[in-house]
Amino acid sequence: MKTRFKLLALLMVLVLIMGITGCVKSGETSGTQGQMTEENKSGDISKTDSTEDGEELEFVELTFLMMGNVPTNGQLELAMAEWNKILEEEINAHLKIEWVEWADWLTKYNLLMASGEPIDLITSGDWLDMWPNAQKGAFMPLDDLLQYAPLTSADITAEEWETCKLDDTTYFFPEQNYTQYVNHGFYYRGDWAKEFGIDKVTDYESFGQYLQGVADNKEGVVPWDANGSKFDLYDGWIISETDSLELLMVPTGYHKAVWAESKENKYTAYSPIFNDTFMEFAKTMQEWGDAGYWREDVLNFKGDTRELFKAGQSGADQHHTQTYRGLRWEMDNLIPGSEIGFYPFGSTRKNLTQLSIIHGATAIGANSQNPERAVMAYEILRQNEEFYRLFVYGREGVQYEIVDGVKTRPEGYNDADHEFYTDFWSGREDKFELPTDTEYAGIYDLWAEFDSYAIPDPYSRFIFDRTPVEAELAAISDVTSALGPAITYGKTGDPEAAVVEYREKLKKAGIDKVLEEVQRQLDDYKVMVEGK
């Protein structure tokens, strides 16, 4: 009996061990399999010389992985039928869209990447864990495939290609021909500012004057009905008052504690919290809070400032340029003559970084069955106007009409029946984009202004390894989350004492060690970038 039990126990342990190792093993094999197929494929590519026109290609079905919920009104299928006609003619293929829905999207997306399903084109980007997934072998190297997208590839400069490489292998097509700015700032009522004799808000000082004007002249309106969980007041101050550049990859909680010094010294890390400018900030915010520029219980207020702004109950609102693009148009219709102004933080000292060109990027799946054809389809998408507009806007006459070069909605259009989207955010082309009648027409002037002084994102390839300072970062986050809000909204009573205490606590939490580590990694990064 006993021996029997022992045997059984042994058996169970064995089964367990096998189970565990089985997992590992299968993982390994699937990894090597992936590589094997990749090698085979690249071998195939070298064998099949570039497909000449006239050579018969056999018909294939391609898939493009997108982020978004499945449209259910049937419009996508109708547009798909149209674009497949073009594809059939050009490369004898069909392209359909696979969706990753918004419910828990990052988990789902990364699982798909790990599972090695044979997807052809994949939406990726810096917000979609592009580098970890590339490291895990989710994507196919593009170097041998670029020949199938000659125009698109030629359009991308050597420097831009560098941003798409991991260990000298190209994995991504960047979205380098599309203008979008997501730099933050304040929105304010232009009509009110004129009333108070302010022509344009250009810095914190003039913004303060505007808020004072609202407080003095607009009964029942909160000058800026801010939501205390928003931290941009501090970010804006640093961008507006100094030349510092954000280092978004170093997470420090409520306040960004680590910045790079300036455009000129972009590889020098420092903390503005320990400079006079921060003391200045704390004192100014104390004044603003005392003057009632936001509500007394701002730190607990969780309201929707945008809606309050639209309803004329808040004198200001805070978000980025893209939001301004739609908001201004909306407000022009809602409150004609409101002339919503936008004060981008970066405009004060012309301190502005462009969005990384790999914020949206397209990759080819490691297990794609038809990588060459997928790249050809991508080329058509980025070079064929008719196809592009079908893919991005839908069908002309149903989803949109072009009136004097502006995209408008046709008679009888309604969202429920005609809404169309493919959520293609990884390779849009300004040359095919149309201005729409649901946006502020002045946005293009604003962009032109930004273009004149914005610099390309210098940190798009900087992957900060947090492991050595994980504990310190967590401790710093605790400190910034505990003391940051009160300083930001001037609720400390004694800003000087609060800043002194704040600095002490940050020191204790290990800010110096973090700065050292960031500096060390920035030095390495500098060698990597400039060594080329």
Partner 1 sequence: MIEKNNKLSSKKDSGKVIMTAVSYVFITFFTLACLLPFILMLSSSLTSEKSVIINGFNLWPKEFSTLAYKIIFENPKDILGGYIVTILLTTIGTALGLWIISMTGYALQRKDFAWRNKITYFFYFTTLFSGGLVPYYLLMTKYLGLKDNYLAILLPGLMSPWLIILMRNFMKSIPHSITESAKIDGANDFQIYTKLIMPLAKPALATIGLFLALQYWNEWYNAMLFLSPNVEHRPLQLYLYNVVTQAESIKNSAANSNVPPQDMPNETIKMAVGIIATGPVIIFYPFVQKYFIQGITIGAVKG
Contacting positions for partner 1 (CB under 8 A): 1, 5, 8-9, 12, 23, 26-27, 30, 67, 69-70, 72, 98-99, 101-105, 107-108, 111, 114-115, 117, 125, 127, 180, 182, 303-304, 307-308, 311, 313, 320, 322-323, 325-326, 329-330, 359-360, 392, 415-416, 421, 423, 425, 428, 438-439
Cβ proximity of 278 and 272 under 8 Å: yes
Least distance in angstroms from the C-beta of 209 to partner 1: 28
Closest by Cα among 300, 323, 334 to 226:
300
Kindly state the tokens that stand for 253.
Answer: 């909680």
Nearest to partner 1 of 74, 493 (CB atom): 74
- Closer residue to partner 1 (CB): 19 or 54: 19
* Least distance to partner 1, CB of residue 41, Å: 20
- The angle that helices 385-392 and 371-383 make with each other, rounded to 10 degrees, is 90
Both tokens of 121, joined, read 């084109």
Beta-bridge partner residues of 408: 401
Closest distance of CB 322 from partner 1, Å = 4
Structure tokens at 80: 């798909």
Q: Which is nearer to partner 1, 239 or 475 (CB)?
A: 239
Is the sign of the CA dihedral 166, 97, 357, 131 positive or negative? negative
Nearer to partner 1, 456 or 468 (CB): 456
Q: How far is the CB of 367 from partner 1 (least distance, A)?
A: 12
Nearer to partner 1, 104 or 216 (CB): 104
Question: Toward partner 1, which CB reaches closer, 267 or 425?
Answer: 425
Q: Decide the pairing of beta strands 173-174 and 184-188.
A: unpaired
Closest contact distance (angstroms) between CB of 53 and partner 1 is 33
Q: How far is the CB of 185 from partner 1 (least distance, A)?
A: 15
Residue found by looking up tokens 């490489």 in the block: 165
Amino acid at 199: D
* Beta bridge mates, 121: 64, 364
With vertex at residue 288, the alpha carbon angle to CA 286 and CA 292, rounded to the nearest 5 degrees, is 115
How far apart CA 173 and CA 84 sit, in angstroms, is 22
Q: How far is the CB of 72 from partner 1 (least distance, A)?
A: 5
Are 65 and 124 a contacting pair, CB within 8 Å? no
Q: Which is nearer to partner 1, 390 or 392 (CB)?
A: 392
In whole angstroms, the minimum distance from the beta carbon of 303 to partner 1 comes to 7
Whether the CB-CB separation of 191 and 217 falls below 8 Å is answered with no
**Which residues are CB-neighbours of 523 under 8 A, at least 6 positions away?**
267
- C-alpha–C-alpha distance, residues 506 and 529, integer Å: 31
Decide: helix, strand or coil at residue 161. helix
* Residue among 79 and 392 whose Cβ is closer to partner 1: 392
> Between β-strands 316-320 and 406-408, what pairing exists: parallel, antiparallel or unpaired?
unpaired
Least distance to partner 1 from the beta carbon of 246, Å? Answer: 14
Q: What does the alpha-carbon distance between residue 132 and residue 145 come to, in Å, rounded to a whole number?
A: 22
Nearer to partner 1 by Cβ, of 111 and 528: the residue is: 111
SS3 at position 99: strand
As measured in angstroms, the least distance from the Cβ of 468 to partner 1 is: 24
Which C-beta is closer to partner 1: that of 67 or that of 380? 67
